[in-house]
Amino acid sequence: MKTFLVFYMIGVVGFANCDTSSSEWSYKYENGWPNQCRKAGQQSPINIMSRSAIVDTFQIHIRGPLVFRGYGDVKLRGVNTGRTLKWKFEEDTGAPVLSGGPLRGNYTFVQFHLHWFSEHAIDGIKYPMEIHMLHIKTGLTIEEALKLPDGLAVIAVLCQVHADENSEYSLQEIEPLLPTLYNKTSGPGFISTLNLSRLLSPQPQSFYTYHGSLTTPDCQEVVTWIVMDHPISISDYQYKMIRQVDVGGVDNYRSLQPTNRVVYKSAASSISSPLPIGLLGVLLNMSSLLKSTLGTGACVVINLKRKFFADKKNYCTNAAA
């Protein structure tokens, strides 16, 4: 068991947040999002087809391994923003730094937050949850970064749910805090010391990468996406807690956007099968609660927002084939 620390903060602390939109918006009504979210540019999230992704054999785009510095012991403040659960880095120095892979230069960690169900799909499969670790090009302000095509880098980690109570799960460090975040946070939130490495994929060099956008308004196309292709595991109990969190509805994911661009995969990703049959079994082998929530599993999740699909292919049939 990892040590779990909670500090109660006295006084009022502002929550700068990466929600850069001035207007109200909702996951229930994506057609009401600002215009730039609806133009067919390079929007996110997308369905990544593993067979179409390009292996960068000559290391033109992915020039080496990803380098994670300082992810081990990170003090973060957890809040319910009303749209997601977010853990934000607030100190002046010592933030984790990401570099390597498709990135040119250093990117400083800002916050991570959760989406349930997942936003990205791989080979048509969506997952119960997705973690986004947002990084900003080192030295830039958020306003500056939002104007540059390579201003932000986001690591996306897909999560699958297991019913076995005796395993170690990735969210163990934040689990005790979840009930305090069910409601939109009115106070300053709580500070925890987390090991962010535990929220990364078991194989962090195995990923897809593409250029896209923020998945919330104003949907700026300034993000280098790094989507890990090996999911982490969370427990059924943890997922039940997360689904009690009030984010203005029961879930908080944007529908899939047209892929219309090149997706690269890392050399490690091309070696390992991105979606072994066993994984599909595990994914669908969820507890009775999940089965009642999801019906027959991942396919139902996909079909939930089917009407928003740009590509009318039947992803579930593809995935099962």
Ligand X SMILES: *[C@@H]1O[C@H](CO)[C@@H](O)[C@H](O)[C@H]1NC(C)=O
Q: What is the DSSP letter of 135?
A: E
Burial of 249 (0-12, 13-18, 19+ CB in 10 A): exposed
Which option in ligand X, Zn ion, none does residue 285 bind, with CB closer than 5 to 8 A by kind? ligand X
Which option in ligand X, Zn ion, none does residue 183 bind, with CB closer than 5 to 8 A by kind? ligand X
Query: Could you give the CA distance from residue 160 to residue 282 in angstroms, rounded to a whole number?
Result: 8
Using alpha carbons, select from 34, 40, 21 the residue that is nearest to residue 308. Answer: 40
Number of residues that bind Zn ion (CB under 5 A): 1
Q: Work out which of 83, 132, 162, 211 binds Zn ion, going by CB under 5 A.
A: 132
120 binds Zn ion (CB under 5 A): no
3-state DSSP: the chain helix, strand, coil percent, rounded to 5?
20, 25, 55
CB 213 within 8 A of CB 143: no
Which option in ligand X, Zn ion, none does residue 64 bind, with CB closer than 5 to 8 A by kind? none
Q: In terms of CB distance, is 132 or 211 closer to Zn ion?
A: 132
Q: In terms of CB distance, is 198 or 305 closer to ligand X?
A: 198
Which option in Zn ion, ligand X, none does residue 237 bind, with CB closer than 5 to 8 A by kind? none
Give the helix ranges, DSSP H, for the chain. 35-38, 142-145, 236-242, 267-271, 277-284, 288-294, 298-304, 315-320
Binding site for ligand X (CB under 6 A): 72-73, 99, 105-106, 163, 182-183, 195, 197-198, 281-282, 285
Which option in Zn ion, ligand X, none does residue 132 bind, with CB closer than 5 to 8 A by kind? Zn ion
Q: In terms of CB distance, is 36 or 233 closer to ligand X?
A: 233
Which residues of this protein are in contact with Zn ion, per CB under 5 A? 132
